[in-house]
Amino acid sequence: MQFIIKKNALVCRRRGETLRIEAWGRDSLRVRSAMGPVGGEDWALTETPEETRAEVSVGTEDHWVGDGTVDKREFGKIVNGRVSAVVNFVGVISFYRDDKLILREYYRMYDGTLSDRSRCLKVINRAWKGVIGGSEYQLTVRFDPNEGEKIFGMGQYQQSDMDLKGCVLELAQRNSQISVPFMVSSLGYGFLWNNPAVGKVTFGKNITEWEAASTRQMDYYITVGDGPKEILRNYTAAAGRAPLFPEDMMGLWQCKLRYRTQEEVLTVARDYQKAGIHIDLIVIDFFHWTVQGDWKFDKKYWPDPKAMVDELHAMGIKVMVSVWPSVDRRSENFGPMLERGLLIRTERGAEQTYDYQGDCVEIDPFNPETRQYVWDVCRRNYASLGIDYFWLDNSEPDYGVYDFDHYRYSQGPALSCSNLYPQMYSRAFYEGMAADGRKDPINLLRCAWAGSQKYGNVVWSGDVPSTFAAFRDQLQAGLNMGLAGIPWWTTDIGGFMTDDVKDPAFRQLLIRWFQFAVYSAVLRLHGDRGPYNIPPLDDRDFGGGYLHTGQDNEMWSYGEDNYAIMRKYYDIRVSMHDYIASLYKEAHETGSPLIRPMFYEFPEDKKCWEIYDQYMFGGEYLVAPILRLDEFEREVYLPKGKWRREGSDDTLEGGVTVRVPAPIDDMPVFKRV
């Protein structure tokens, strides 16, 4: 191994591989490696790191030769504040926090120095396997496991596990699955897999493995801190933070599948106004257009959208429209975009990537020309009418088949970069709106990647079922998204897929979900409500009239009793405006999410690292959602301190678990006093 000392960096070379470890902001290191020179994209690490001065050195250590003698072998070391890395003579990296080992690469070869384990397995720390016929590699990076470690973050996976230790996670984007590869460890470090390649991570009991299916470079970042709050602060300083959220968007967002005419939208808005309920935003969902990729209103059902927008603005209501990345062959934009190479390419067979309600190919947002083309069309057909924001749906993208080896972007094969697709898609609108002088370009997306927060992304959890099991999954998903650096996260209240809106079990679920959403970043009513017995508006096979719609989904749509409960919680949301604004400001300044696991605020309390069915809304409110059907009481753990239940004058001493009532109109919430 050859060691080279650079300013703030340690460079190591062995057997054709170049390894570079350098200081990357406060108490942080960036680690890159390639079979050749190191360079390339910054990917998530776009921000200029805080200037630090690392200590870089080369020394020697005793190595057992095997005949009873020892030999001196070189090692390299880099120290940046509280984090340090040591590279031994075969390139194995060990990481330390305050001189205590926190992470070490897995290495089981005879020439290694980690001689307390089997040396005959021939398993190495960084395995580069050439992709046949290409210049990329299939890369596997291995680490020793840490006994007792808990792992959080990594984005959103539809499962019951909050602690990811023991889980195998696909590093790929799907509808309701969001790969954001930043993890927070209970041992006081954070780790970013800074690679948008499709792959897999295994947080096994016996090994940790990160895999990229097609890449040219290993790239990861590690940071340390006293707790998750400090770790998130360090990480988001390197990857970027969310902008300031508009203060007039912190109330209720109204949506359904789907408003089919401009008169329907206006009627709903007027009815809310008559009820004395202010909605901050109304959303016009899909197939208000002619065909996918036209990105414009169907004039038959939206004859004067500017007049509609003007009336909504007069009520103080912002307007959001749905935009999909899919382009139907019948679209007026298909031919020009295909000719100019602005669509995704397929590696074999027909040129089709998506087949819902049309024969479609999706846009290639990795191409700057694509982003400009799409924004120019949407500026002309939407923004010029006064449309405020965009719902960038299907942003994974939602492939007809998730065969990532079948698709190619201008950036390269989808296997090498597909996880970045939703971020590039959002940039088409964020950058276009910013260039047009918009000070608050926020948009709603179904997917994200590391660093997406800096592009004004409100991310929702996808098309999830309307079940209590799915509801429980959303809680851990939202908490882990926040720990992955994405603070603006929301859900479809009540879930997306409902068979029967009159089912009492669904209505109970809706109320419990609404209560939870009040204590989250965005309060948003949406869902595909069955039964599907509403006839289409016409018999055309395209346009705004032919596709089905769901049942009504306004606050008053579920009976007077439920309306009264939702109205109560709506009023709570409105009363918390200043507090919620302070949380958004905190997210902008420090990277802290709005909803937080208990250990985020109480890292010294061991019990808080074990509790995942309650959470903190900011630093003041402890929220204990009701996550099961017909559950009208539950246990709540109160950490040390004094707590007062909302709606009560009684103060409780913390450090105890209490059983509290939870009637249908009251979710347990405690405030620190």
Q: Return the active site residues.
A: 393, 396, 463
Query: Closest Cα to residue 143, out of 99, 98, 81, 201?
Result: 201
Task: Provide the 10 A C-beta neighbour count for residue 659.
Answer: 9
d(CA 312, CA 326): 28
Contact 365, 425 (CB under 8 A): yes
CA 622, 628, 631: angle at the middle one, nearest 5? 80
Query: Closest Cα to residue 161, out of 591, 596, 516, 613?
Result: 613
491's tokens: 């859900």
Q: HSE, CB side, 13 Å, CA atoms: give it for residue 336.
A: 10
d(CA 667, CA 568): 12
In what side-by-side order are the strands of the sheet with 642-645? 595-596, 615-617, 621-623, 669-672, 642-645, 651-653
Q: By three-state DSSP, how is residue 428 classified? A: helix
d(CA 248, CA 246): 5
- The distance of Cα 113 from the centroid of its chain, to the nearest Å, equals 39
At residue 656, what are phi and psi to the nearest 5 degrees? -140, 160
Q: Which residues, 6+ apart, have CB-to-CB distance to 245 below 8 Å?
A: 440, 442, 488, 581, 584, 587, 588
Contact 527, 493 (CB under 8 A): yes
Tally of residues, the chain: 673
CA-to-CA dists, residue 276 to 165, 270, 480, angstroms: 48, 10, 36
Q: Which helix (H) or strand (E) holds 314?
A: helix 305-314
Rounded to 10 degrees, the C-alpha dihedral 112/23/197/91 comes to -10
d(CA 633, CA 649): 19
Largest Cα separation within the chain, whole Å, is: 90
Q: Which residues, 6+ apart, have CB-to-CB distance to 219 below 8 Å?
A: 30, 31, 32, 40, 43, 194, 195
At residue 47, what are phi and psi to the nearest 5 degrees? -90, 145
Query: Closest Cα to residue 670, out of 38, 661, 647, 662?
Result: 647
d(CA 483, CA 181): 10
Please write down the HEC assignment for all residues of 129-189.
EECCCCCCEEEEEEECCCCCCCEEEEEECCCCCCCCCCCEEEECCECCEEEEEEEEECCCE
